[in-house]
Structure 1
Amino acid sequence: MQLAPVISTVAETIQVAIAPVFLLAGIGGILNVMTGRLARIVDRARSLERLHPRSTGPEHERHVWELRRIDARISVINAAIIMVTLSALLICVVVALLFIASLSNLRIGTIVAVAFILSMLILMGGLIAFVIEVRLSLKAIHIRAELLERDGR
């Protein structure tokens, strides 16, 4: 009776698990971008919160509008970060299940496939939320017409 796994079985499992591991690296890069955006959003919110009490009239209204937009952006980017992180966790589950199945001869291919599909769907949701946040930020940074100097046109 063989108690230890055959080295070739472990090597084959590592080969199969490499693609999800590379996917994890890509997801890490995406999370880095998202958390960087969140940090910039928070910095902008803090600077506006300092200006808010001292502003009046149209300037105050612009600050309130932008703070509302920032609040929405924070919610959306936070949802994106949560979804992408959950996707990464599911990829880790896939890798673990690959090894468990290989080493114990379990036939859990369907479970592995479902976990991977769920991971991809959640990743798609996170990326969609990211695009929504980017669109919200673009709408917030349009330069007001009165600040654009026109040379007689």
Structure 2
Amino acid sequence: MATPSLLPHTPALAQLAQIIQLAVAPVFLLAGLGAFLNVCAGRLARIVDRARRLEPRILESRGQEHDRLIREIRMLDRRIRVVNTAIFTSVLAAVLISIVVILLFGAFLTGYRFGTLIALLFIAAMIATASGFAIFLHETRLGTRSVRIGSHILDHEPDEDEGR
């Protein structure tokens, strides 16, 4: 007599295994988006910290120094908005991917056919992901541009008296 299997092999169980396999890729994508969001949040924190350090200096400065600090804090404000937009689109992508996984299991449990909706949501998630990356790339370009070292510093040569 054969020993009964603890998990009987039924079509429903085989289908569930397929659904789980299908859901694994989007879950890995969620993990990648989480790592990307961590990078964005770290960058945002550094920008905000820099802006907070500038605020008191702006209030105390005058003339060309004041103008330079105002330009810098305006750039930081712009970068904050851009990073926030990258975070928004990445979180939107994560939400859409989560809905895709939910619908995969919902279709299995209810028998409804959500294939077209799942495909459209996944396409929307990829568009949001690509947008988040593109926006982040734009922010890194802004950051690089704002930290360029001025030629007056690069070309500066100390006077003979300064060295003593």
**Percent identity over paired residues:** 47
> 1:8 offset after TM fit, Å?
2.4
1:108 aligns with 2:114: yes
Count of residue pairs the alignment pairs up: 147
* Superposition TM-score, scaled by structure 1 size: 0.91
> 1:7 offset after TM fit, Å?
2.6
- Moved beyond 4 Å, runs of 4+: none
* Alpha-carbon separation, structure 1, partners of 2:139 and 2:39: 12
User: Which residue is 2:149 aligned to?
Assistant: 143
Secondary structure, counterpart of 1:107 in structure 2 = coil
Larger gyration radius, structure 1 or structure 2:
2
User: Which residue is 1:87 aligned to?
Assistant: 93
Aligned counterparts, 1:11-90, within 5 A: 11-90=17-96
Provide structure 2 residue ranges, at least 5 long, that are not aligned to the other structure: 1-10, 158-164
Provide structure 1 residue ranges, at least 5 long, that are not aligned to the other structure: none
CA RMSD of aligned residues (A): 1.4
* Alpha-carbon separation, structure 1, partners of 2:102 and 2:132: 23
Instruction: Report the residue type matching 1:62 in the other structure.
Output: R
* Superposition TM-score, scaled by structure 2 size: 0.85
Judge conservation of contact 1:86–1:122 (CA < 8 Å) in 2: yes
| Of 54-63 and 75-84, the range deviating more from structure 2 | 54-63
| Of 87-96 and 121-130, the range deviating more from structure 2 | 121-130
